[in-house]
Structure 1
Amino acid sequence: MMQFCFIDTETTGLFTSYGDRICEIGLLAVDETLEIIESFESLVNPLREISAAAFEVNQIGDAELLSAPLFPQLADKVLELIDRRILVGHNVLFDNGFLKNEFRLAGIEYPDPRMLDTRDIARGLISSPSYGLSSLVGQFEIEVENRHRAMSDCLATYQLFKHLLALGLEKNYSSLEQMAGRYMIEPEKLFESLPDWLQEALEKGIEIEIEYMNRGNVTSRRKILPLSAFDSHGKLYIEAFCQSRKSKRTFLVERIKNVYPDRK
């Protein structure tokens, strides 16, 4: 039977490749009936300062983290909750990437769980101007306190998943297992269908320079750091941090005309 662990992390910044770390983690272990078995939340001392941009979002200050446990002190509990469970998050590859990095830094083997992304499920089931968590929480009228803190966003993702499941059972699927199977992210297959350049960028957390044609057929060169890739209506997209815009952007892969090698 399927069991799940919902996750949300708050981080010092967006990029493990730049040394960013987890500063707060929230986990919900859930059984096959979606009843919560156990919850866990903790601040984490990241051994570095929180970026101004991250603080603006999560309001976690450096002083709060000085007495927080280091991640290796929490690793056994995290392993207990995620072991043999499907990891569920909103943009779960982001949380999984940071979690995997923490285990790597701690010298502890990471189990590489199967995953489900509520953002991908929402894209498959509903039409929305935005698939961010805030937008979807509003669309489904989910009450959330203390947004952008790990446990609050973890609970919001859990509630969103239950709403999406109800919608999926009404529209397309006969069971939770069938819907989960449709959107399951298998770690060993995660990058196999991606172009080599994108696979390498995602696996290593490296920036790439692209020539991109927008909807108006205007071409520009941009330096981006890919964060995740997803399929929507048969087309491959990248969510990435765009250095020229200084924010996250979504790129349609078929509009990327050239990829330039790193000349560092």
Structure 2
Amino acid sequence: MKEVILDTETTGLSISEGHRIVEIGCIELNDLIPTQNKFHCYLNPERKVSEKALEVHGYTDEFLSTQKKFSEVMDEFLKFIENKRLVIHNAEFDLSHLNNELALMGKKKLSNENVVDTLVLARDKFPGSPTSLDALCKRYRVDSSKRTQHTALIDCDLLAKVYINLLDQKEPTLNFKNEDNEKTIINSNSKNQYFKKVIRPTEEELKLHKEYLKNSLKKNFFN
């Protein structure tokens, strides 16, 4: 099943106060394994960033004013997430902002029917315990040292690892009939914390292994 880990950064918390999206990040998963497919963009929100939001992500008005508007990336974004389950931490927040952007463009809103909210999963699994992304990274020993500020792609990468742990699958089930498994880059950094590349033995290696077993079985190891 294809899923999309999704995260947004915004100018502020509430759409009722006119706040807009300034960054969208998406990482595609195929049977829980990250693929090479990503979607990422910074956006011109056409308004000022609040002081609190600036402290969170660090994107200045000057920087954002040079970026594309949501209308310019909307079709590409919708195509990327089409027919895929969305995995979001605190989905209500991100969906409300995405749907606000879509509504401003006269587009149909995203449904929450095919959305997994990892915040809800974490609260159900650890009632009464901290369930922020930072807290979950700490619980599952996911290295979050690069997260000095909130950025969409870094948060997506961390959430992908947390999501797998929340499902109690530290190593996703690989489809060994799929030859693409051998070619998949399964993590976005050099430290593959969860996944292992499938390496098939050569014909020569299989032959040598059979010969080794044959000779070993002839020996009596108890004498």
TM-score for both structures, normalised by structure 2: 0.70
| Equivalent pair of 1:125/1:167 in contact (CA under 8 Å) | no
Amino acid at match of 1:16: I
C-alpha distance 28-121 of structure 1, shift in aligned 2 (>3 A):
same
Tell me the CA shift for residue 32 of structure 1: 2.5
Tell me the CA shift for residue 37 of structure 1: 4.5
Superimposed CA distance per residue, residues 169-226 of structure 1 (whole angstroms, 9 cap, x where no aligned partner)? 9xxxxx9xxxxxxxxxxxxxxxxxxxxxxxxxxxxxxxxxxxxxxxxxxxxxxxxxxx
Secondary structure in structure 2 of the residue aligned to 1:13: coil
Counting only pairs closer than 5 Å after superposition, residues 126-205 of structure 1 correspond to structure 2 as: 126-127=126-127, 129-144=129-144, 145-146=146-147, 147-166=149-168
1:75 matched to 2:84? no
User: Unaligned regions of 5+ residues in structure 1, if any?
Assistant: 170-174, 176-264
Partner Cα distance (1:70, 1:25) in 2: 12
Question: Which residue does the alignment assign to 2:93?
Answer: 94
User: Unaligned regions of 5+ residues in structure 2, if any?
Assistant: 174-223
Tell me the CA shift for residue 49 of structure 1: 0.2
Question: Which residue does the alignment assign to 2:121?
Answer: 121
Secondary structure in structure 2 of the residue aligned to 1:46: coil
| Equivalent pair of 1:88/1:115 in contact (CA under 8 Å) | yes
TM-score for both structures, normalised by structure 1: 0.60
Superimposed CA distance per residue, residues 135-156 of structure 1 (whole angstroms, 9 cap, x where no aligned partner)? 1111111123234111111111
Which has more radius of gyration?
A: 2
Which structure has the higher relative contact order (CA within 8 Å, separation 6+)? 2
123-132 vs 88-97, which moves further: 123-132
| Equivalent pair of 1:88/1:118 in contact (CA under 8 Å) | yes
Tell me the CA shift for residue 127 of structure 1: 5.0
Secondary structure in structure 2 of the residue aligned to 1:166: coil
Tell me the CA shift for residue 29 of structure 1: 1.8
Secondary structure in structure 2 of the residue aligned to 1:109: coil
Partner Cα distance (1:37, 1:10) in 2: 22
Amino acid at match of 1:162: I
Counting only pairs closer than 5 Å after superposition, residues 9-88 of structure 1 correspond to structure 2 as: 9-88=8-87
State the number of aligned residues: 169
15-24 vs 107-116, which moves further: 107-116
Tell me the CA shift for residue 108 of structure 1: 2.2
| Equivalent pair of 2:5/2:88 in contact (CA under 8 Å) | yes
Tell me the CA shift for residue 93 of structure 1: 1.3
* Identity percentage of aligned residues: 31
| Equivalent pair of 2:11/2:19 in contact (CA under 8 Å) | yes
Amino acid at match of 1:151: L
Q: Over aligned residues, Cα RMSD in angstroms?
A: 2.0
Partner Cα distance (2:151, 2:38) in 1: 14
Question: Which residue does the alignment assign to 1:192?
Answer: none
